[in-house]
Structure 1
Amino acid sequence: MDTEVLDLPLSRTANERLHAMIPGGAHTYAKGDDQYPENLAPVISHGSGAHVWDVDGNRYIEYGSGLRSVSLGHAHPRVIEAVRRELDRGSNFVRPSIVEVEAAERFLATVPTAEMVKFAKNGSDATSAAVRLARAATGRSRVALCSDHPFFSVDDWFIGTTPMSAGIPAATTDLIASFPYGDLAATEEMLNRHPDDIACLILEPATHTEPPPGYLAGLRDLADRHGCVLIFDEMITGFRWSEAGAQGLYGVVPDLSTFGKALGNGFAVSALAGRRDLMERGGLRDSGDRDRVFLLSTTHGAETHSLAAAMAVQTTYVEEGITARLHVLGERLAAGVRDAAAAMGVGDHVVVRGRASNLVFATLDENLQPSQQYRTLFLRRLLAGGVLAPSFVVSSALDDEDIDRTVDVVAQACAVYRKALDAADPTPWLAGRAVKPVFRRLA
C-alpha cells in the first residue's frame, strides 16, 4: 500500500479557523476544502507565476489558478506595474475617472463585436444584468438557460435551478426554461413550447466541447426568429479562446455578452458588453418613453487599479500572443497526460477533455462511470507530487519543465489508479472521505 507523503498541519489549523468564521470555510464554494481529499486542502500563503506555496511551506505547480482567472500567472509584472501606478493616484472617486474611458475604449477595440461596455466586479452581476436587460427589452419574463453548462450566477434566477435552491421562491424558478447544448431542434421545440415568452437564450458558447458546425449561427437565427435576446457568457471563453472571445473565434455575434475571469488576471473586474440599442436602455440617452433599466450600478465597479489591470491584460494578450501560448502549453500537457495514462493502463479512466487552453479531466471507475472516489485518489497523488490541479487549465506562466514534471506526477498517480481498479475498490487509497460536488442539497 502506498503511504501518504504530504502532511499539512498548518493548513488544517487554518482551515479550522476559516470554518469558524466564514460559512463554508471559503468565499467561493469551488474553493471549499470539501473539493479536496480529507486533510489535504492546502491554504495558500503566496504565489508567483505558475507556482503557489501553502502555509506549510510546500510548493505546487498550480492549474486552474483563481478559478481560471489568473491566466498570465500570479503577480504578472505588466499587470502589477499598471496596478501600482494607479494606486498612487487614487482608486475611487465621486465622478468617473479618465481610466474608465480608456478601459472602455481598450475593451471595445479588443472585442469589436460589442458596441458598448459596462464594468462590474464579478460575473454574476454581469450575467444578471444581461438577463434583466433582455427581459426589459422584450417585455417577456421567462429565461432559457443552457442546461449543460454548470454555472451562470449566484442570483436567484440561476441558483434556484440547482440542488442548492433553499431560500429561493418557486415563483422565481417557474420563470426558467432550459435547452441542451448543441441541439438546435430541442431548442426550437422549447421556444415553440413557450411562444412569445422567452426573453433570452443564455449559454457559454463553448466549454469542454467545441460547438457543432453551424450551431452558434443556428442559435443566432432562432433568437432572431423568436424575438429573444442571445447572450453569450464568455467568463471562461473570453481571452482563452481568442482575444475577442469565442464570438471572435467562431464569428457569431450575440446581442449581449459577459466577460470576467481572465479579464483582470485575478483582480476583480467583469464586463457586460453588447448592442448599443440594448445597452442604452440602462443609460441616460435612450430616446422615447421606454422605462429605464437599472442595469449595473456598483460602488467599486470602476476602481482604477482593476481597470488598469484589465487594460494591461489585454495589451499582454495581444502583444505577446498569450492565447496561442495557452494552446501550445495545453496541447503539450494533454498529450503527456494521455500518454502517461495509457502507459499505466488507465487511458480509458483518466480522461482529458476540452480545448487546449481550458483542459479538464474526468476520473472514471471500473465501469467507466464518473467517480468522486477515484477523483479523490487522483488528487491525493497529484498533491503528494507537488501538483495542485482541480483541473488542467493552464496559465501562460507555465514552462515545459512544469508540464513535464506534471506528467511525471500524473504517471505516478495513474500507477496507483491502476492498482485501485484491479482491486475494484479505491477505498484503501483514499485515507478519508471522498471529495464532493459543489452543488448538493445537504452539507
Structure 2
Amino acid sequence: MKVGLVLQARNGSTRFPKKMSADLMGRKVLEWVLLRAGRAKVDEFILATSSLEEDKELAQTAESYGWRVIRGDAFDVLSRYAKAVEEFSLDYVVRITGDCPLVDHRLIEFALSEALKKGADYTVFTGIINGFDVEVIKGGWLLKANRLARLPSEREHVSPYVRKSKRTKKLFLKYHEEDLSHIHLSLDYPEDLVVIQRLLRELGSEDFTYEDVLRLVRQKPELLKREKEVLPNEGYIKSLQEDREFIKGLKGKPLKLEESLKHLERAKRLIPNCSQTFSKSYLQFSVGASPLFVEEGRGAYLKDLDGNLYLDYTMGLGACVLGYAFEPVLKEVKKQLDKGSVFTLPHRLEVELAEILTQIIPCAQMVRFGKNGSDVTSAAVRLARAYTGRDMVACCGYHGWQDWYIGTTTRNKGVPQEVSKLTLTFEYNNIQSLERLFDEYPDRIACVIIEPVGVEEPKGDFLQRVKELAHKHGALLVFDEVVTGFRFALGGAQEYFGVEPDLACFGKAMGNGMPISAIVGRREIMELFEEVFFSFTFGGETASIASAIATIKYMREHDVIPQLWERGQRLLDGVKKLVEEKELEDLVVVKGYPVRFVVDFLGEDALKLKTLFQQECAKRGILFSGSHNISFSHTEQDIQKTLEVYDQVLDIAKYAYEYKMVEELLEGRVLEP
C-alpha cells in the first residue's frame, strides 16, 4: 500500500495574489507548509500546482525540499490529484492545501492512521480550527471522481464528489468535543497573514503542535483580531454559485416548435384531448418543450411538423416492432391495397393468417380478428362468460377502454356502477390476492384475465399458480398479450414462460403498425363464437392482414426476436449502468425486460424531472416518453447515441434536483400522470 501527501497550491488567488510566495517570518508561505507537512510519515510528498508561468517558482521551491511535482490545469484541481494518483500509483492520498501554513504533521498522521484502521474511503476532521484541514481519500475514489465529476465546485475543491457519494465509507473525526471551526487561521486574505505572523511570534518555535496553537488562542484571543471580518468558506460558496450557472449552461438549444404549437390550437377546437390515444396526447408531451405532432416516420426515427428528427423508442406504443414504414412490409400492404381492402365476402388471407397464428402461438387452435387490443380483450371476457355461465371477471394489468375494464380505474366516467362491480382486480405476483377473490365470490368468476408480464418479472411459478387456481375454481385463464406478443417470443409470453392459457389476445406488433388484433384459444371455447356475437365491418380488412402476414414472415425468416433481446439488453444494461454510476437510484427507476422496459422518476418531483428529461432529450434528438420498445430498426449506433444523450441528460436531472433548480430549468408544461 502506498500513501502520498498531495499539497495543492498556486499563486493565482484573486483574494490574495501570490500568497504562496509571500514572506512569513523570513520564509515563503509555501516553505512553511513544505517544512511542517514534510515531517509526516508517508511514502510520497507531492506538490500539485498549475502549469502557469507564475507557479513555476512554486515547483522549484518544492523540488528544493525534495518534493515531487505535478503540474496541470489552474482551476481543475481534481485532475491534478488524479494525475498524482496515476503517476505515483497511490492507494491513499492525504490532501492538504497551501493556505494552511500552520498544518500539523501529527494531525496528518492521526487522520491517516484512523482512515487505514477503519478502511474509510474518505476521512476528514470536523470541528477543528480552520487552517489545520486534512482529508484522507482513497486513490481509486479520486480517479472515479475525476472521471465523473462535472460541476465547477467538484473540479476546483477536489473532494465534494467523493464526500457527496452515497457509496463512500466516510469517517468524520472529532479531535475534540468543542466545535472550533469558526476560528479562522487559513491564509485567504492579506489580513490573515498578519494574524498568523502574530501567532508564530508568540509560539517562538517552528515545530509547534495543534494543541500549542489551541492553547495560545484560548489564552490570548486578542491575537485573532483583524481589521476585516472573514466570510467563512467564501471560495466554496462562490463556486456553488458557479455550479448553478454551469447547470443552466448544460441545457440544450431550444427546439423550433412553432408548427406543433399552431397545430395544437387547431386540434383543441376540433378533437377532444387533441389525440385519438391518451398516451400520445399533449398531456404526455411537454407543450412548449417537446414535439406534439408527427409528420412521418422511417425506421426508428420520427419527423415532427417543424422538420425536427427524433430517434424514438415508444415506437407507436410498441406496435412498430420492425420499424416505421418498414419496406418489406409496406410492399405487401401496397400490393394488397391495389386489389382492395374490404369486400362483401371473407378473403383468403384471413385463413392464411389464422393458419400462421395456430402454428406459432401455443394455445391457438382457432382465431378471430379485431382491430384494437380492446376489441379482443372484450371478446375474451364475453366468450368466457358465455362458456362458464358466470358474470364476474378477475383482472390484473391494463386491458383497454371498454366498460368491463375501465370501470375499475379512475377513468371510469360514463361506466354504470353495476357494470364496474362485475370486474374485480388482484395484484401481480400476489397469488393470495387472487385466492381471496375466489373465496369471496365462489362459482361467480368467469375468467382471470392478466397481462402475463409488464415491467415486473413474475416471481417463481406465479403464472402457473394463477392458471391452476383459475382452473381449480372453474374459471378460464386469459392472457392479454397485446403488448408481449411478437416481442418476448413469436408465440408471446406464453411461449417465453412456458404457461399456456385457455385464451389469448394479440395486437400491436402483430401488424407492425397496421390496425389488427386477434383472439386465439382452445377450439371448444372458440367455437362458441358461432353464438357469441363478435362482428364488425373491418374485422377482415385485408391490408392489415397482409401486413401481419408479412411482419410474421419477416420475423421468422430473419430471426428478429433474438436480435431484439440482444440490442435491448445492451441498451438496458447501459441505462442501468448510468443510473448506478450517477447514484440516482432514489430518483430514477429502470424496470422491465430488454425487449420492453421503462425509465421513470421517483419522489415528489417525479413528473417535473420526467418533463425536464424529456425536454433535454428532445433537444438532443431523442423522443422520450419513458417506454423503451426496442425495434428491429434500432441500430448499434442508435443505442450508442441514446446512451450518450442519457449520460448528459441524467446529469442535468441530477444537478437540477440537487440544487433545487428543476422548475427553473423547465421550458414547457409539466407532464400529467
Smaller-chain TM-score range? over 0.9
Cα distance in 2 between the residues matched to 1:196 and 1:46: 51
Q: Describe the superposition over 1:262-297 as per-residue Cα deviations: whole angstroms up to 9, x where unpaired.
A: 0000000000001111111112xxxxxxxx211x21
CA shift for structure 1 position 207 = 0.8
Unaligned runs of 5+ in 1: 284-291, 438-443
Seen in structure 2, the aligned counterparts of structure 1 residues 342 and 220 have a Cα distance that, compared at 3 Å, is closer
Q: Superposed, which structure 2 residues align to 1:24-63 within 5 Å?
A: 24-39=273-288, 40-63=290-313
Q: State which of 210, 227, 241 in structure 1 corresponds to 2:488.
A: 241
Tell me which residue corresponds to 2:507.
260
* Residue type at the aligned position of 1:306: S
Residues 1:204 and 2:451 are matched in the alignment:
yes
Cα distance in 1 between the residues matched to 2:429 and 2:605: 22
CA shift for structure 1 position 42 = 3.2
Tell me which residue corresponds to 2:636.
400
CA shift for structure 1 position 228 = 0.6
SS state at 1:167 partner: coil
Tell me which residue corresponds to 1:141.
391
Q: State which of 620, 627, 642 in structure 2 corresponds to 1:385.
A: 620
CA shift for structure 1 position 348 = 4.0
Tell me which residue corresponds to 1:433.
669
CA shift for structure 1 position 121 = 0.6
Q: Superposed, which structure 2 residues align to 1:207-356 within 5 Å?
A: 207-283=454-530, 292-294=531-533, 296-356=534-594
* Residue type at the aligned position of 2:468: D
Cα distance in 2 between the residues matched to 1:214 and 1:397: 34
Cα distance in 2 between the residues matched to 1:241 and 1:384: 32
Q: State which of 607, 610, 618 in structure 2 corresponds to 1:375.
A: 610
Cα distance in 1 between the residues matched to 2:368 and 2:310: 36
Q: Superposed, which structure 2 residues align to 1:170-181 within 5 Å?
A: 170-181=417-428
Cα distance in 2 between the residues matched to 1:118 and 1:36: 35
CA shift for structure 1 position 431 = 2.5
CA shift for structure 1 position 425 = 4.9
Residues 1:168 and 2:419 are matched in the alignment:
no
Cα distance in 2 between the residues matched to 1:144 and 1:364: 29
Cα distance in 2 between the residues matched to 1:253 and 1:16: 48
CA shift for structure 1 position 186 = 2.0
Unaligned runs of 5+ in 2: 1-247
Cα distance in 2 between the residues matched to 1:433 and 1:309: 38
Tell me which residue corresponds to 2:316.
66
CA contact (8 A) 1:420 1:426 kept: yes
Residues 1:114 and 2:364 are matched in the alignment:
yes
Q: State which of 3, 18, 28 in structure 1 corresponds to 2:267.
A: 18
SS state at 1:33 partner: coil
CA contact (8 A) 2:408 2:425 kept: no
CA shift for structure 1 position 338 = 2.3
Cα distance in 1 between the residues matched to 2:654 and 2:496: 39
CA contact (8 A) 1:344 1:411 kept: no
Cα distance in 1 between the residues matched to 2:346 and 2:672: 44
CA contact (8 A) 1:91 1:303 kept: yes
Q: Describe the superposition over 1:118-139 as per-residue Cα deviations: whole angstroms up to 9, x where unpaired.
A: 0111110100010001111111
CA contact (8 A) 1:354 1:360 kept: yes
Tell me which residue corresponds to 2:652.
416
Deviates more, 1:124-133 or 1:383-392: 383-392
CA shift for structure 1 position 158 = 1.2
SS state at 1:208 partner: coil
Cα distance in 2 between the residues matched to 1:326 and 1:379: 24
RMSD: 1.4
Taking structure 2 as the reference length, the TM-score comes to 0.61
Residues 1:7 and 2:256 are matched in the alignment:
yes
* Residue type at the aligned position of 2:297: G
| Number of residue equivalences | 422
SS state at 2:571 partner: helix
* Residue type at the aligned position of 1:436: E
Q: Describe the superposition over 1:84-131 as per-residue Cα deviations: whole angstroms up to 9, x where unpaired.
A: 111111111111111111111111112142110101111101000100
CA contact (8 A) 2:489 2:496 kept: yes
Q: Describe the superposition over 1:42-91 as per-residue Cα deviations: whole angstroms up to 9, x where unpaired.
A: 31111110111111111110111111100100111221111111111111
SS state at 1:164 partner: coil
SS state at 1:12 partner: helix
* Residue type at the aligned position of 2:275: A
Tell me which residue corresponds to 2:149.
none
SS state at 2:268 partner: helix
Highest RCO, 1 vs 2 (Cα 8 Å, sep ≥ 6): 1
Cα distance in 2 between the residues matched to 1:268 and 1:418: 40
Q: Which runs of 4+ in 1 moved over 4 A?
A: none
Cα distance in 2 between the residues matched to 1:100 and 1:120: 11
Taking structure 1 as the reference length, the TM-score comes to 0.92
* Residue type at the aligned position of 1:58: N
Q: Describe the superposition over 1:295-319 as per-residue Cα deviations: whole angstroms up to 9, x where unpaired.
A: x212111111110110111111111
* Residue type at the aligned position of 1:310: A
Q: Describe the superposition over 1:236-268 as per-residue Cα deviations: whole angstroms up to 9, x where unpaired.
A: 110111000011111111111100000000000
Cα distance in 1 between the residues matched to 2:386 and 2:585: 50
Q: Describe the superposition over 1:150-200 as per-residue Cα deviations: whole angstroms up to 9, x where unpaired.
A: x21211111111212111111111111111111112211211110011111
Q: Describe the superposition over 1:194-234 as per-residue Cα deviations: whole angstroms up to 9, x where unpaired.
A: 00111111110011022112111111111111001111000
Q: Describe the superposition over 1:298-344 as per-residue Cα deviations: whole angstroms up to 9, x where unpaired.
A: 21111111101101111111111111111111111112222333344
Tell me which residue corresponds to 1:189.
436
Matched residues, percent identical?
38
* Residue type at the aligned position of 2:602: L
Cα distance in 2 between the residues matched to 1:215 and 1:344: 34
SS state at 2:629 partner: coil
Cα distance in 2 between the residues matched to 1:405 and 1:252: 37
SS state at 1:395 partner: coil
SS state at 2:364 partner: coil
* Residue type at the aligned position of 1:417: A
CA contact (8 A) 1:116 1:274 kept: yes
